[in-house]
Amino acid sequence: MLGFFKGIATAMITPFTKDGVNLLEFGRMIEYQIEGGTDALVVLGTTGEPATMTEAEKTATIQYAVEKARGRIKIIVGAGSNDTAKAVAAAKRAEALGADGILAVTPYYNKCTQSGLYNYYEAICSAVNIPVIAYNVPSRTAVNILPETVERLSYIPNMAGIKEASGNMAQVCETMRRIRGKMELYSGEDFLNLPMLAIGGAGLISVTSNIAPALVKKMYDLVQENKLAEANEVQDFLLPLEDACFLEVNPIPIKAAYNMLGFDAGTPRSPLTELEKKTKEILLNAMKKAGLKTI
C-alpha cells in the first residue's frame, strides 16, 4: 500500500503529572508540531512510554490527540505487543477512536520466527481497515524483520510501510529494493534520515523533531527538491543535537529537552529516570547551538 503519508512524523512523548497524563500540555505540544510543519504524529510509540500507562490513560490520550488534531495532521497510534491478541485489540481501539493509522512494533521478548512475524502483522492488518506500519527495532525487541519478510508483508492490502530502526543500511537497502513501488520505507533512526530518504524513503519518524520540527522538515524538503548538498548541510547542523537526544535511553533526554523549551513534559515514569546533570548540560548546549530558545 502506497501513499499513506510522506514527510516527517514525530514520535511524541507523553507528558505526565503525578496524577496521570497532562492532556492540556500534550495539546500545546501538538500545536507546536503543527506550527513546525510536521506531517503526522505517532502517539503511544516507544517515545510515549505506553508500557507504563494504564489502558484508560491510553484511551484518553488517543482520543485527545484525534480531537485536538481535527484532521489537520495525521495521528498514527502505537499498537504493538508481544501478544498478538493484545496488539489486535489495541489496533481496533485506535481505529475506533479515530486514528489515521497504526504503528506496530515487532513482538518483543518472545522472539518469534519470521513466519511468526508475518502472521502477527497479517492478524493486525486483517483486524482493521486503516493503514498499518511495521516497526523494526531489534535493539529493543531482539527480533529483526528480514527483507524477504517485509516483501511478503508488502502484499497485504493495508500494510502501508515499515519504520526501519535496525541501523543496518545494507539491510535497509535490500528491504527498499524488495518493496519499492509496493510499500513505503520510513526512517526510524534520526542519524540515518538523509540516506534513507536518498534511497527512496517516503519519510521519517523522528524523536529529534519533538523539539526541532521545522529543522527536521527543512532537511526532508531539501531532499525532495533534489538539493542534496543543502540537505547535507542541514543534517550536519542537526547531528550534534540528534546525538545529544540519545545520550541516555530515549525518551529521557527528549522529555528533558521539552522542559528546557518551556513545556511541562514532566519526568519519565519508572523504571526510567530523570536526565543526569552532566548529560543535561550537554543537551542544553546542543539545543542552543541549534538555535532553539531555551529557558
Does the annotation count 32 as an active-site position? no
For residues 46-60, one letter each, b for 16 or more C-beta atoms within 10 angstroms of the residue's C-beta and e for the rest, the string is bbbbbeebeeebbeb
131 φ, ψ (degrees, to nearest 5): -65, 145
Q: Given its phi and psi angles, is residue 109 left (phi above 0), alpha (psi -120 to 50 degrees) or beta?
A: left
> C-alpha cell of 202?
517516503
Q: How far apart are CA 285 and CA 294, in angstroms?
A: 10
Q: Rounded to a whole number, what is the distance in angstroms from the first to the last CA of the chain?
A: 44
Please tell me which residue in 64, 121, 135, 220 is annotated as part of the active site: 135
Do you know the residue count of the chain? 295
Does the annotation count 163 as an active-site position? yes
Q: Residue 22: how many CB atoms within 10 A of its CB?
A: 18
Please tell me which residue in 68, 163, 217, 280 is annotated as part of the active site: 163
Q: Residue 238: how many CB atoms within 10 A of its CB?
A: 25
**Residue among 1, 80, 5, 78 at smallest CA distance from 38:** 5
∠ Cα 272 275 279 (to 5°) = 140
Alpha-carbon radius of gyration of the chain: 18
Sign of CA dihedral 137, 272, 275, 41: positive
Residues designated catalytic: 135, 163
